[in-house]
Amino acid sequence: MATITKKPSKIHTAFNPVILQLKAASQQERDNGIQCTLTKDTFSSVLFREFFNDITRFDFSEVLKYWFTEEKVILGPSASCFLDKRLAFEYSINLSASTSIAVNAVVQLQRNPDMTTWGNRFLTNFPVLKKYKGYPLDISYLNNSQFAFVNFDGATSNKNEAITNLHFSITIPDNISSLIISNIVLSVDLFTNASVPVLANSLRNIVVKNPIKASMQIIVELLPTCIPGSPFYVRWINQLGGFDYWMFYQNQIYEQDAKTQAKVSPIIDDILNATYIEREIDKDVSKTVTVGAGNLTDVEFNELVKISTSPLVEIWDVEVQKWYRVYVASAKHENSTKDMRKAIEIELTLPIPKIQF
């Protein structure tokens, strides 16, 4: 059996090279080459390579990046933690008898695609996350300690069982102003010697907070925000392997273009009462919206620019309470280092309107 000299890390970016390198152990392998099977859920892919000077290399990235699906994620109750397979999934490599997690992420030149070295962190670069009531917000977390507790506004939501997923997302409820991830429980219920919970007058458990023992990994500030005029809520998969969100407001410019594609001239039997001599049978219709934001910090500008290269951009439909996909039609971003505040403008292609043709 060939010897593995390099293999993918336990959790890694999927859009950089993902290398499995092998050294031949027999003449038969040198002559015949070797197969490798990748498996994710019910999907599998078989790759073949020949040896050259006893060495061969598989790059799994071309397979992994096409395995990110469009499947809908079924969320649990408020403040649930879940694995979103559009952002990360686990797969196995038969030759190494091991599993790895591929994340819908990419790093630039000389940055490390091995996400086990990133520590524990939220997968966003925004220092402040704004929560709008009635508008969804999910935060993705890289859990390299595999022992995470989630604390909302001082109340630990999972104090009986830590989250062991290496990559998970958290659904943020409305009216939350703080979020803490800790590797130990941040609060405990108060019990009597007879193990009976001590209740307040409101019949709620009395909670003892113990911040001294709490080893907090990350604190992200959540800012409950009033809904602005003309809200236009966008989310996109960022380069870290999580969703980022932004509320555009005040002014959007909608454009719709329509062009007749085909007409016919039917036979007219009654010319006296006829109202037309030809009619349309097909139209080409497109719809776009241009959104913009100003007074941006450097961090906000740099993150919003990445909407243009995201593999998935969606906007929130308030009426039906669902996300739907849009595409970046055009975007040109200029950043003068002299400007203390930045501005951005993006044109998005909306779904093709259904028409009566």
- pLDDT level of residue 208 (50, 70, 90 thresholds): low
- pLDDT level of residue 77 (50, 70, 90 thresholds): low
> Cβ(230)–Cβ(292) under 8 Å?
no
Q: What is the pLDDT of residue 209?
A: 60
Residue by residue, DSSP assigns 199-242 as: B-TTSPBPEEE-TTT--EEEEEEEEEEPPPSS-EEEEEE-TTSS
Q: How far apart are CA 162 and CA 300, in angstroms?
A: 32
Pairing of strands 55-59, 19-23: antiparallel
Query: Is 277 strand, coil or helix?
Result: coil
Domain definitions of the chain by residue range: 1-73+89-108, 232-349
Q: Does domain 1-73+89-108 have CATH number 2.60.40?
A: yes
Q: What is the pLDDT of residue 243?
A: 96
Mean pLDDT of 217-221: 71
What is the per-residue pLDDT across 87-118, written as a single tens digit (0 to 9) for each?
Answer: 999 999 999 888 999 999 999 999 999 999 99
**Alpha-carbon distances of 87 from 14, 63, 113, rounded to whole Å:** 10, 15, 15
What is the per-residue pLDDT across 173-207, written as a single tens digit (0 to 9) for each?
Answer: 888 888 888 888 776 667 777 777 777 777 776 66
- pLDDT level of residue 276 (50, 70, 90 thresholds): confident
Strand order in the sheet with 243-248: 243-248, 232-237, 313-317, 322-331, 342-349, 279-296, 253-264
